[in-house]
Structure 1
């Protein structure tokens, strides 16, 4: 029974391996819960332990299949609330539906707010998440949100490669990632460049110009928050390669990698792709040059501090 000082850790089916890693960090067992589907696809849930008065943490990223995983999270929250849990924290390493965070044209939804409402209405008292696509989504939740960043974990990996700072260039794949990339410059050193990205529509982008540099003969690391179809990332890689970079690395928090992403990444001139385990990887996504670093210690420490009512701020400052 995953109870320690009234702490209960449960996992949905989206990423049970991460749930077990977090439990191992905390030195507890993952809670017993049975999740299945009725013949028509409806989700069935049953807890096999007492959570009355417990501080429950539900680990469930809402990545692909996003609708199933989101619905399962809502069912888990409702189950725990109806079983008289004292507090329920939704641990969402990857928050889906984050792209539609504003009305940028007529007659479109703000789906990020809708999903935030669903999670809080289901009964979540708190949300723990990581590298939201847009930081302002924290304000969409009518409950406290702890927003963590995977940058220190990615930076630690790249420091272990002992890349010379004098020959290093941190590249932002678009203007929207400038702030994130500058934080990597602060911790890794090196110079800075930006790829000029223009979006044609929701599915297509084009990358044409490089701002900054020079990068000829240099080692470049391109950072982004997520790799979805890999179109933007591979487009940035091609621009950097055209400017004669010696080696190109890619770093991202969320490896969604849907559609032709894996094929695009394999064909691109990338020495190494470094992602976190905020989402599980399928066998097809485990590319030869892909490295996965764990965020379980980061999430586990945040859970420990939230449970003990200690400060979490140093984890994401």
Structure 2
């Protein structure tokens, strides 16, 4: 297997390579006047299994669109030059939140991104905790693999728990399944009952509303589970509701820390005890991460991704990944 890490994704890419004990294959990227670029492998890809890794979140010097195009172009380059199979690896997959029409003439960008990967020649797309698994799987005509952080987060929660009762809360209706899977996994690992809660959330015209809360959190240590944290308002609303109902502690957990400007101020202002993210966005936006300070914890997903790549290369079942890939490993603090 040849593992290419595109420029700007080196931090997590090097962690994945180290965890999987494989090298990063050499490649070249050049920038041209007018904003164009080219990238090419510096080793032969003919008849090889190729994985192209790139992070697709926005940064100051690279938009989501720029990063996506670079990944698509490199996938196509490998395919054009004879690669037997090309897998695009993007832990955070953008445009996944718009997976259905909610207003007249709305786009369905999940499907459009799928069409781009298919047209580029990708044989598989691997991502992590996509926004809606069924929409992701239905959008692609190629292999669409969505890795899950359920066991990683469950192990982390169970490892921190004492005799205090625990509850897992979904901050909106769309995340019920995700939160319930985490709840069941924590219950199994901790060998005791774990409560569940749900916060109402409606979004229209960019305005978030809804105030109903269901679940018993009185005196419990509560974990709000979501797929991503961007502006922080969803977590803020849920935290306020949970605190008002007498929770002992409130922690937020999410796979993807997009952390838009001002997110840390929102999260710091709602009384959270901690915010646990993964390094699917690496590095995290520095100003927001620093502002969160000691509240911020980051678990690496490198062993999970490396184990998946090893399994795909060997043709073994992803359901048989070794338990050590789910062991929580902090990279911050």
Q: Which moved more, 1:298-307 or 1:31-40?
A: 31-40
Residue 114 of structure 1, CA deviation: 0.7
Residue 293 of structure 1, CA deviation: 0.6
Residue 200 of structure 1, CA deviation: 3.4
Report the count of equivalent residues.
307
Residue 14 of structure 1, CA deviation: 4.3
| Contact 2:261–2:288 under 8 Å retained in 1 | no
Equivalences for residues 199-278 of structure 1 within 5 A: 199-201=203-205, 203-213=206-216, 215-278=217-280
- For residues 36 and 209 of structure 1, the distance between their equivalents in structure 2, rounded to whole angstroms, comes to 53
Q: Please give the secondary structure, in 2, of the residue aligned with 1:208.
A: coil
Residue 183 of structure 1, CA deviation: 1.3
Gaps of 5+ in 1: 1-6
Q: Please give the secondary structure, in 1, of the residue aligned with 2:246.
A: coil
**Structure 1-normalised TM-score?**
0.92
- For residues 204 and 15 of structure 1, the distance between their equivalents in structure 2, rounded to whole angstroms, comes to 33
Q: Partner of 2:117 in structure 1?
A: 119
Q: Partner of 1:193 in structure 2?
A: 197
Residue 207 of structure 1, CA deviation: 4.1
Q: Partner of 1:76 in structure 2?
A: 74
Q: Which moved more, 1:116-125 or 1:22-31?
A: 22-31
Q: Partner of 1:3 in structure 2?
A: none
Equivalences for residues 164-179 of structure 1 within 5 A: 164=163, 166-179=164-177
Q: Deviations over 1:22-42 (max 9, x none)?
A: 111221211112224222222
| Contact 1:148–1:315 under 8 Å retained in 2 | no
Q: Partner of 1:311 in structure 2?
A: 317
| Contact 2:262–2:288 under 8 Å retained in 1 | no
- Residues 238 and 37 from structure 1, CA distance in 2 versus in 1: closer, same or farther, beyond 3 angstroms? farther
1:58 aligns with 2:47: no
What is the root-mean-square deviation of aligned Cα atoms in Å?
1.7
Residue 315 of structure 1, CA deviation: 4.9
**Structure 2-normalised TM-score?**
0.88
Residue 161 of structure 1, CA deviation: 1.1
Q: Partner of 1:4 in structure 2?
A: none
Q: Please give the secondary structure, in 2, of the residue aligned with 1:159.
A: helix
Residue 163 of structure 1, CA deviation: 3.6
Gaps of 5+ in 2: 188-193, 323-333
Residue 79 of structure 1, CA deviation: 1.7
Residue 71 of structure 1, CA deviation: 0.7
- For residues 36 and 272 of structure 1, the distance between their equivalents in structure 2, rounded to whole angstroms, comes to 41
